[in-house]
Amino acid sequence: MEIKVSLSDGSIRRYPLGTTVEQVAESISMGLKKQAVAGKENGKLVDLNYPIQQDGLIEIVTLDSKEGLEVYRHTTAHIMAQAIKRIYGSKAVKLGIGPVIEDGFYYDMDLEKPLSPDDLGLIEKEIEKVIQENVPIVRRIVSRAEAIQIFEELEDPLKLELIRDLPEEAVITIYDQGEFLDLCRGPHLPSTGRVKAFKLLSVAGAYWRGDSKNKMLQRIYGTSFPKKSQLEEHLHVLEEAKKRDHRKLGKELELFMFSEEAPGMPFFLPKGMTIRTELENFARELQRQRDYDEVRTPLMMNNRVWEQSGHWDHYKENMYFTNVDDTKFALKPMNCPGHMLIFKNALHSYRELPIRLSEFGQVHRHEYSGALNGMMRVRTFCQDDAHLFVLPEQIEDEIGRIISLIDHVYQVLGFEYKVELSTRPEDSMGSEELWDQAEKSLANVLDKLGIDYVVNEGDGAFYGPKIDFHILDALKRSWQCGTIQLDFQMPEKFDLTYIGEDSLKHRPVVIHRALYGSIERFIGILTEHFVGAFPVWLSPVQAKVLPVSDHYLDYAFQVKKQLEQAGIRVEVDGRNEKLGYKIREAQLEKVPYMLVLGETEKNSESVAVRKRGEGDLGSVSIQAFVERIKQEIHAKELI
Catalytic (active-site) positions: 336, 365, 383, 385, 387, 466, 512
DSSP 471: E
Phi-psi category of residue 567: left, alpha or beta, with phi > 0 → left and psi -120 to 50 → alpha: left
User: Across 334-465, where does the E strand assignment appear?
Assistant: 355-364, 380-390, 416-422, 454-456
Are 632 and 536 contacting, i.e. CB atoms less than 8 angstroms apart? yes
Among 365, 382, 331, CA closest to 516: 382
CB 319 within 8 A of CB 311: yes
C-beta atoms surrounding 323 within 10 Å = 9
Is the CB of residue 252 less than 8 Å from the CB of residue 532? yes
Query: Rounded distance, CA 375 to CA 377, Å?
Result: 6
Helix (H) / strand (E) containing 95: strand 93-95
Output the CA angle 20-26-31, nearest 5 degrees.
Answer: 140
Measure the CA dihedral 228/234/239/242, to 10°: -160
CA 183/CA 147 separation, integer angstroms: 8
CA dist., res. 388 & res. 403, Å (int): 14
Q: What is the CA angle 197-199-203, rounded to 5?
A: 160
Helix, coil or strand: residue 199: strand
The conformation of residue 580, written as its DSSP 8-state character, comes to: H
Rounded to 5 degrees, what are φ and ψ at 297? Answer: -120, 160
